[in-house]
Structure 1
Amino acid sequence: LVAKDESPIAFDHDCREGICGMCSLHINGEAHGPDRGITTCQLHMRMFKDGETISIEPFRAAAFPVIKDLVVDRMAFERIQQAGGFISVNTSGNTQDANATPISKHAADEAMDAAACIGCGACVATCKNSSAMLFVAAKVSQYALLPQGQVEATDRVLNMVKQMDEEGFGNCTNTGACEVECPKGISLENIARMNREYLIASLKG
């Protein structure tokens, strides 16, 4: 292409360490390729046979429109985050020390596991319904498991699920493909937790 004075194929990339989620591609029909627990930038050529034809496509989902070539627009995830994926913190100088609130190791570990989500979109791309439940559940869970997230818990889950629906993502039918393809191993347990949080929030409302 360059020799023909044409634009090279466009694709997203950034960290090359599997932490930014930018390099999201379908490789040979699988999100991030045939290996497990990695992103595209961590995929080695030794995973393929010598002379093998490699098929590379952008993530396919109505909520992830293709911008150009292999680049998709994943701003839908950002809007879901903005709808409730945060906590309000007093930054007036009187903030409480982080260690002042005791948290069990089990809760801390589960919150950290949920927070490992990098928002790459593999869960959406691999789901037959293009559901974003695993992504949203991870973001809800990382706060639901900690005392700091309890103040806004009701509004958070209601607003984030509402935004997810407005973005046009599909429904979850519990096939589990999202967990299998997730490069960070986000568990389906987070979806169950989010459903509980949503039910409780709905009853409060």
Structure 2
Amino acid sequence: MKLKLRIWRQSSADAKGRMVSYELDDVSEDASFLEMLDVLNERLIAEGDDPVAFDHDCREGICGACSLVIDGQPHGPQAATTTCQLHMRKFKDGDSIDIEPWRAGAFPVIKDLVVDRSAFDRIIQAGGYISAPTGTAPDAHAVPIPKQDADAAFSAAACIGCGACVAACPNGSGMLFMGAKVAHLGLTPQGQPERATRVLGMVAAHDEAGFGGCTNTGECAAACPKEIGLDVIGRLNADFRKAAIRAA
């Protein structure tokens, strides 16, 4: 498979970036998208050029590290799939592929395709946790939870924090990410003591980081590789209204 790649190159956070064209021959359709970039980087290194910087870690669709906008779509053309799980069989011989980093004010570019997603860390630090006494772990069935709540919490907890929702949102909002964290903790008994302070703290951190507001376009849910739905944003808004009224 022969491909033409147009890749965003930016040497540093302060440098001016641009799209640079590369051509690759003999790309295996069984290769993953990141493996295809590995092949390109091996060639660039052999030629004495700077390899393309991009985030990756587990390459199993779990860690949330990979973060590429491929032909204008976060994670590429295959639904419910992270970049690392996208394979070249989704493309055709002779295709021209544009590859860019996440585009959002809260995710500044560090180099090439790598962006700074530490804003997500600050949101989690503001409330994405529960406080529990240390000691022996209780039995798994010690705290009964209705199956409907357990299933909903599990679905929300599938969020890998990749940031595709932010990259897809025309407002650069992180509400789907934040909603998933608030929902999966707020649906369980263990998350109840800090439910109000959690949502207030996380929303404040979200806004302070420069994320935009949610206008319910739904692009975030469409881009989410774990298919997290907009209902978590509804839960977030409901919790926030209740907490804000009580805090007033």
Normalising by structure 1, report the TM-score. Answer: 0.97
Counterparts of 1:103 and 1:194, CA distance in 2: 20
Q: Percent identity of the aligned residues? A: 61
Kindly provide the CA deviation profile for residues 4-63 of structure 1, in whole angstroms up to 9, marking residues without a partner as x.
322211111101110111111000000000000010000011111111011100001110
Two-structure CA RMSD over aligned residues (Å): 0.9
Aligned to 1:111: 153
Of 155, 166, 178 in structure 1, the residue corresponding to residue 197 of structure 2 is 155
| Aligned counterparts of 2:107 and 2:217: Cα–Cα separation in 1 | 21
Counterpart CA distance in 1 for 2:45 and 2:229 is 43
CA distance in 2, matches of 1:201, 1:2: 54
- Map Cα deviations across residues 180-200 of structure 1 (whole Å, 9 max, x no partner): 110000110000001000011
Aligned-residue offset at 1:204: 1.1
1:95-106 to structure 2, matched below 5 A, reads: 96-106=138-148
The runs of at least 4 aligned residues of structure 1 exceeding 4 Å deviation read none
Map 1:1-205 → 2, pairs under 5 A: 1-93=44-136, 96-205=138-247
Counterpart of 1:2 in 2: which secondary structure?
Answer: helix
Q: Structure 1 CA distance, aligned partners of 2:91 and 2:228?
A: 26
Distance in 2, Cα, partners of 1:91 & 1:144: 21
**What is the identity, as a one-letter code, of the residue corresponding to 1:147?**
P
C-alpha distance in 1 between matches for 2:115 and 2:150 = 33
How far apart in 2 are the matches of 1:2 and 1:70? 17
Relative contact order (alpha carbons < 8 A, sep ≥ 6): 1 or 2 greater?
A: 1
- For residues 217 and 47 of structure 2, the distance between their equivalents in structure 1, rounded to whole angstroms, comes to 45
Residue 203 of structure 1: CA displacement?
A: 1.2
Match of 2:12 in 1: none
Distance 1:12 1:96 in 2: 37
Which consecutive residues of structure 2, in runs of 5 or more, have no partner in the other structure?
1-43
Report how many aligned residue pairs link the two structures. 204
What code does the residue aligned with 2:125 have? Answer: Q
AA partner of residue 202 (structure 2): M
